[in-house]
Amino acid sequence: MGANYVFSLQPTFTQGLIFGQLSILVLLVFVLKYLFMDSTKYPFETTSYHPRINSDSIMRSQKPYNQASGESELSKADESAEWLNSLLHQIVGTYRSKLRNDLPGPGGDEVARKRVEDYANKIRPASFLDKIVVHSVDLGSSAPHLCNGRRVHPSPSSNPQEIEFDVNYVDSVSISLSTSYLFNYPMPLFARLPVALTISLSLFKSSVTITPPIHTSPAPTLTFSISPTFTLDLTTMSLMGSRAKLANVPKLHDLIQHQVHRVLATKGVWKVVLPGLATVDEVKQEVKNELADAAPS
């Protein structure tokens, strides 16, 4: 009768097969948990991987904008946009300065780093992503460059006054951070997979349409929209695991680039509130109404 049971005092082929499968499964769990993952709360306290981007090592495919230079390699058609590029450069520089609380040197770097870290932890999915630690932030030194300004051909669905530009943006913008992916199965906080990332911008290229205020709009705004077929190239350096580390995983790079591309494509329209003509709340309400009208009934 003993041969009719899976488990008996005398070893059988069935028992050996089941025991072998369980042994492989247990070994796999231990390899993942204790080799690549980490059960400690602060896995990066014992690792030296805190990369910092050296802006001099990032190759630029275009020269940074030089405000003091009287020479220009642009064609005569592009020279008319130089005043707009100068204005844009000043606006971007002002935002960079305010992100640093107008502080130069390491003091300003720390202010910008802390602000980015606070925002990243505010929007992170806490259910499967541990606290994000931002090690360094490079806000860059250049600005998007506009060229080839042209009127958009009138059509029933477009404003005849719309202006379209080609935009290229190459800069040293980067962020270096570390966090852990949380595994909550088979129990909450079963294990952590430490992840360290350095993400930097290589190239952003698109066409940008500028739409002036519409007179009949209850909340007139100046609208900027990017083409849905824009080009985005990011450079990603990654390190995954605790004791054994996987470096520069291609799938992780593809995932990050896809997510950034998706966010830009979803939020590819920016409305600038004009003082005296509208308020931020009025513009938000108008955007909600437009989305409601566009939604399928």
Q: How far apart are CA 198 and CA 61, in angstroms?
A: 20
Closest alpha carbon to 205 in 165, 168, 257, 258: 168
Amino acid making up residue 139 = L
pLDDT tens, N- to C-terminus, the chain (297 residues): 444 444 445 556 565 666 656 666 655 555 555 544 554 554 444 343 334 434 444 334 344 444 444 344 445 545 567 888 888 899 899 999 999 999 999 999 999 999 999 999 998 888 888 899 999 999 999 999 988 888 876 665 555 578 889 999 999 899 999 998 888 777 676 778 888 999 999 999 999 988 888 777 777 888 888 988 899 999 999 888 876 677 888 888 888 888 888 888 888 888 888 777 777 787 777 777 777 776 665
Query: Three-class SS of residue 139?
Result: coil
Contact, 238 vs 199, CB < 8 A? no
Contact, 149 vs 164, CB < 8 A? yes
Residue 126 neighbours by CB under 8 Å, 6+ apart: none
Buried b (16+ CB within 10 A) or exposed e, 34-64: eebbbeeeebbeebebebebeeeebeeeeee
Pairing of strands 191-211, 221-226: antiparallel
The reported pTM is 0.67
User: How does DSSP assign 11-67, residue by residue?
Assistant: --HHHHHHHHHHHHHHHHHHHIIIII-B-SS-GGGG--------GGGS--SSPPP-T
259-296: pLDDT as tens digits: 888 888 888 888 888 777 777 787 777 777 777 776 66
